[in-house]
């Protein structure tokens, strides 16, 4: 799947389904996770959606700034294992905020009416 779907922030759609992600060949981390989870579940492999923050801790310079992200966990051989369908590589400082069946179940924010995000900042520090 990782080689067939292109990441593009500008193409984000809150209503994109897993099958649309596959057909359109593009999406954001949420779409990558939903598609990978759907494929696992179609093979009776338990999978769950994870949302959190990917910091830049442990990433070689130059690195992009950390960001909120989605990934998945898959139940294999009696244990849950983390996979990141979008980045397709392990990340050292992945900060889990919530896990559930899909993005609708574990939204990072919920707003009603018109709103404008003026600024947000996240700091991460590696502890000894």
* pLDDT, tens digit, 9 for 90 and up, residues 70-126: 999 999 999 999 999 998 887 778 899 999 999 999 988 888 899 888 988 888 888
Instruction: Name the residue among 56, 46, 50 with its Cα closest to residue 32.
Output: 50
Q: How far is CA 106 from CA 49, 53, 90, 99, 101, in A?
A: 8, 13, 22, 6, 8
CATH T-level fold of 6-100: C8orf32 fold (3.10.620)
Q: How many CB atoms lie within 10 A of CB 120?
A: 7
Q: Rounded to an integer, what distance in angstroms lies between the CA atom of residue 19 and that of residue 80? A: 25
Mean pLDDT confidence for 21-43? 96
pLDDT of residue 19: 95
| Domain residue limits, the chain | 6-100
């Amino acid at each position: 799947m990782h080689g067939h779907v292109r990441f593009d922030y500008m193409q984000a759609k809150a209503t994109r389904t897993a099958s649309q992600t596959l057909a359109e060949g593009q999406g954001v981390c949420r779409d990558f996770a939903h598609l990978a989870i759907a494929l696992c579940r179609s093979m009776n492999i338990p999978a769950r959606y994870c949302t959190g923050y990917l910091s830049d801790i442990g990433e070689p310079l130059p690195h992009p700034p950390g960001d909120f992200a989605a990934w998945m966990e898959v139940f294999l051989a009696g244990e849950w294992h983390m996979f990141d369908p979008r980045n397709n590589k392990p990340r050292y400082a992945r900060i889990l905020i919530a896990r559930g069946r899909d993005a609708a179940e574990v939204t990072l924010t919920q707003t009603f009416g018109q709103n404008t995000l003026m600024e947000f900042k996240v700091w991460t520090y590696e502890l000894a």
